[in-house]
């Protein structure tokens, strides 16, 4: 079945450090890929997405590129801020009869210190 | 635009009791999802509605969980009787059409603790 694997966490960084959170997937067909973020006390929010191979999603300084050859969708940010502290979830969605069902990874906790 | 509303935010019950959660999706969204998020894990789909019809309930423990979406708008998720392993955050989400490229919008969730 479809699955998403994220790098083990938690991740702790100093402000302005470079961030990478690894994500790989297994899916039948050609999924759309997503990163969702959950800030403390809030619901899940879509951070960025990519719908086909080699697409790059970007938002709020975060980027991720859909790599079909390595089945990966790693999240990166060049300079993190304290306000980026949150839980990040990689997810995939396969179309067809699944009607938009999201399959999530286990989440990665990011803590950024001043 | 109002987001997805869920209530209650928190609930503590004893095992074998029953509990119900309520969700009001974004106005006009045809697709509604219920996810279960156990601590330390990603959300897992329990059930998906398209309007008031069930599209996918393959992961719903039907011996104890039930859900309905009357008139294709609000939805309730019920657990009866609850077990300790049902302790989790229950997330409701909605999307305009439920196709592969459509964003799902999530509510803040209901945190259930079964003691």
pLDDT, tens digit, for every residue of B47-78? 999 888 998 999 999 999 999 998 889 999 99
Nearest-Cα distance to chain B for A4, in Å, is: 10
Statement: residue A97 has pLDDT above 60:
no
**List of chain A residues whose C-beta atoms are within 8 Å of the C-beta of residue B41:** 106-107
Structure-block tokens of residue B95:
């999307």
Task: Report residue B40's pLDDT band, with 50, 70 and 90 as the boundaries.
Answer: confident
The label of the residue with tokens 């294709």 reads B72
- Looking at residue A42, its pLDDT comes to 86
- Looking at residue A108, its pLDDT comes to 96
Of A100, A103, A104, the CB nearest to B95: A100
Write out the residues of chain B at the interface with chain A, using a CB-CB cutoff of 8 A: 3-4, 31, 33, 35, 40-45, 48, 50, 55-56, 91, 93, 95, 97-109
Check CB contact under 8 Å for A46 and B103. Answer: yes
- Looking at residue A1, its pLDDT comes to 83
CA A109, CA B6: separation in Å to the nearest integer?
24
Give me the half-sphere count of Cα atoms (radius 13 Å) on the Cβ side of residue B57.
Answer: 13
CA B6, CA B9: separation in Å to the nearest integer?
7
Q: Which of residues 46-65 of A touch B (CB under 8 A)?
A: 46, 49, 51
Check CB contact under 8 Å for A101 and B48. Answer: yes
**Cα A58 to the center of its chain, rounded Å:** 11
Give kind and range of the element (H or E) at residue A62.
Answer: strand A62-65
Structure-block tokens of residue A25:
């997937």
- In 3D space, the residue among B87, B37, B2, B114 whose CA is nearest the CA of residue A36 turns out to be B37
């Amino acid at each position: 079945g479809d699955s998403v694997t994220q790098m083990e966490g938690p991740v702790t960084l100093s402000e302005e450090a470079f961030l990478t959170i690894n994500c790989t997937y297994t899916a039948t067909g050609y999924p759309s890929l997503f990163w969702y973020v959950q800030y403390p006390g809030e619901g899940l929010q879509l951070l960025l997405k990519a719908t086909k191979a080699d697409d790059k999603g970007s938002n709020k300084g975060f980027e991720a590129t859909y790599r079909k050859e390595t089945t990966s969708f790693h999240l990166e940010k060049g300079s993190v801020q304290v306000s980026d502290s949150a839980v990040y979830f990689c997810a995939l969605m396969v179309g067809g009869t699944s009607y938009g069902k999201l399959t999530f990874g286990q989440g990665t906790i990011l803590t950024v210190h001043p | 635009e109002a987001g997805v509303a869920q209530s209650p935010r928190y609930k503590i019950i004893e095992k074998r009791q029953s509990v119900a959660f309520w969700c009001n999706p974004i106005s006009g969204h045809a697709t509604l999802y219920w996810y279960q998020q156990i601590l330390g894990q990603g959300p897992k789909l329990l059930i998906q509605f398209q309007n008031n019809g069930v599209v996918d309930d393959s992961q719903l423990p039907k011996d104890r969980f039930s859900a309905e979406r009357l008139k294709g708008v609000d939805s309730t998720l019920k657990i009866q009787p609850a077990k300790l392993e049902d302790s989790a955050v229950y997330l409701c989400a909605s999307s305009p059409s439920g196709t592969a490229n459509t964003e799902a919008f999530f509510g803040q969730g209901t945190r259930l603790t079964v003691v």
